[in-house]
Amino acid sequence: MILEIRRYEIVPGRRDEFATWFDNTVLPEMEAIGMQIVGQFVSLDDPNVFFYLRSFADEEERERQTQQLYAGKKWQEELAGYAQELETDYHVELVTPTTGSHLR
């Protein structure tokens, strides 16, 4: 299992707009291609930070689904521009559960 912890810094004052857009527009696109979204979160420490977690069986699945999403017509023509308008920075951390993790 591979888990992506994705952290996005959003234009000040627009995090709620981003979260709503993500939930209503981006999430369905991800789920339609089989991506497993563990959850979406807003930071309690920073009013401009949004997180979400994606889970993949292995690196092959991650690469295939990521390519399918970001090379797709909907992302290229509709979603990418809006994402870039709202995001000021992002970081992706790849992790895998330890043998004692409940997520294995």
* Topology of domain 2-95, CATH: Alpha-Beta Plaits (3.30.70)
How many residues does the structure list for the chain? 104
48 DSSP 8-state letter: T
pLDDT band per the 50, 70, 90 thresholds, residue 1: very high
User: Interior CA angle at 11 toward 71 and 8, to 5°?
Assistant: 50
Q: What is the pLDDT of residue 21?
A: 97
User: Does residue 65 have a pLDDT over 80?
Assistant: yes
pLDDT tens digits for range 11-57? 999 999 999 999 999 999 999 999 999 999 999 999 999 999 999 99
Q: 29-34 contacts: CB < 8 A, separation 24 or more?
A: 29/69, 29/72, 29/74, 29/75, 29/79, 30/54, 30/69, 33/65, 33/68, 33/69, 33/72, 34/65
Question: Is there a contact between 78 and 30 (Cβ–Cβ < 8 Å)?
Answer: no
Q: What is the pLDDT of residue 98?
A: 94
pLDDT band per the 50, 70, 90 thresholds, residue 103: confident
